[in-house]
Amino acid sequence: MGDISFGDHYVCASFGVDSLLRSEPDRDIFGQVKHVLRRGDVVFGNLETVLSETGLQRNQLHSMHMRGRRQYADYLVDAGFNVLNIANNHILQHGTEAFRETVELLRSRGITVVGMADANGLNCTPAMLDVGGTEYVFLGYAFEKDKYFAGTTLYAQASEKHILDDIRRHKRQDNVLICSFHWGNEFIHYPSLAQITMARSAIDAGCDLVLGHHPHVLNGFEKYSDKYIFYSLGNFVFDQLWNEACTESMVVELTLKNKHFELVHISPLKIGADYRPAVVAEDHFELKLNQLCSSIERTIEDNGRGYLADFRRLDRRNRHRSWLYLLRHLHRYDRRILGQILGGTVRRKLHAVRTTFSN
């Protein structure tokens, strides 16, 4: 499955995922999907937030934004997670100490951490997991630039050359190699031509399965050279309720036979008002998913024309809906946090105006 956030998004800072879990610590965030997750020997997701209070400044929006707590690791373990990608653009948002604390916490709970970089910040240190005598090798990369951290990142930043070199270096006939890609533009329901090319190059280099995340909405998937590529698995736990598409997701179940993945089942999910994902019976889900899959070939056929225009349109729509959501929920905000949200918005608008006139 896709993105897991245990923090408050800035749009709902004061009543997002973290705020809810702190006010209701007995709430089982994965309670409605554990019966699916526990079927897996390997249970994978993308952890979008640190699990650390190191450096936390109370009542400061920038410090509480997209931050989880150590105790939330219990939810992950109880649900059955044993592999988590951390190569993403929010994991270093609260500094290196909080990042390292999160990695150590996950490993201490028996969770394999995917996406750690070597010294150059580009090559990925492979994460290994042995299941039933089969060695799974995970490589994870963030294509989205980190806007919160300066310097060489501690997770692997995507570089096509380094990704393909890593795959060729670590793939063997007796193991299974899986790539985790944090990529694509947010809110758009199909991959760019560059993503399709990169994913297929990874398969050609020896990758057995590509798992994508970051857009927060579902994308289609394809079978290329008899290997599966999932371009975006959507959100799994997130508080972006103002955008309906961000609440629709899925869990993909695959089985391994003779070092080859076969698709077993896809469970459609809906994130509820309490931020909990639940399996839903959706009559039109298969049709919707087929349409998403068809868009991959259309992107190839038209050479990716229209992708950026579609992204900009959907990004504007998301911003508009987020502001309507904020206005409808004004009564739920801590006033100090609300002031910081509005003040930050005004500063960004003024900066944009000054930049426009200076150009």
pLDDT tens-digit readout, 118-152: 988 999 999 999 999 999 999 999 999 898 998 88
Class in CATH terms, 3-328 = alpha beta
CA distance 45 to 234: 11
**Three-state secondary-structure class, residue 65:** strand
- How high is the mean pLDDT in each 10-residue block of the chain (359 residues)? 97 96 93 96 98 95 96 97 97 96 98 95 96 96 92 94 98 97 98 98 98 98 98 98 97 95 97 97 89 96 95 97 96 94 81 68
CB 242 within 8 A of CB 114: no
Determine the pLDDT at residue 177: 98
- The DSSP string of 300-330 is HHTTTTTHHHHHHHHHHHHHHHHHHHHHHTG
Determine the pLDDT at residue 359: 67
**Three-state secondary-structure class, residue 101:** helix
- The DSSP string of 23-34 is H-TT--TTTTTH
* Token pair recorded at residue 108: 């201490």
Sheet with strand 112-114: strands edge to edge: 112-114, 83-85, 44-47, 3-4, 235-237
Q: What are phi and psi of 161, to 5 degrees?
A: -60, -45
* Structural domain spans, the chain: 3-328
- The residue count of the chain comes to 359
**Would you put residue 206 in left (φ > 0), alpha (ψ -120 to 50) or beta?**
left
* Token pair recorded at residue 163: 């990704």
Taking the model in full, what pTM does it have?
A: 0.95
CA distance 356 to 359: 5
* Token pair recorded at residue 131: 């299941």
Q: What are phi and psi of 296, to 5 degrees?
A: -65, -50
Longest dimension (CA), the chain: 63
Determine the pLDDT at residue 352: 66
Determine the pLDDT at residue 151: 83
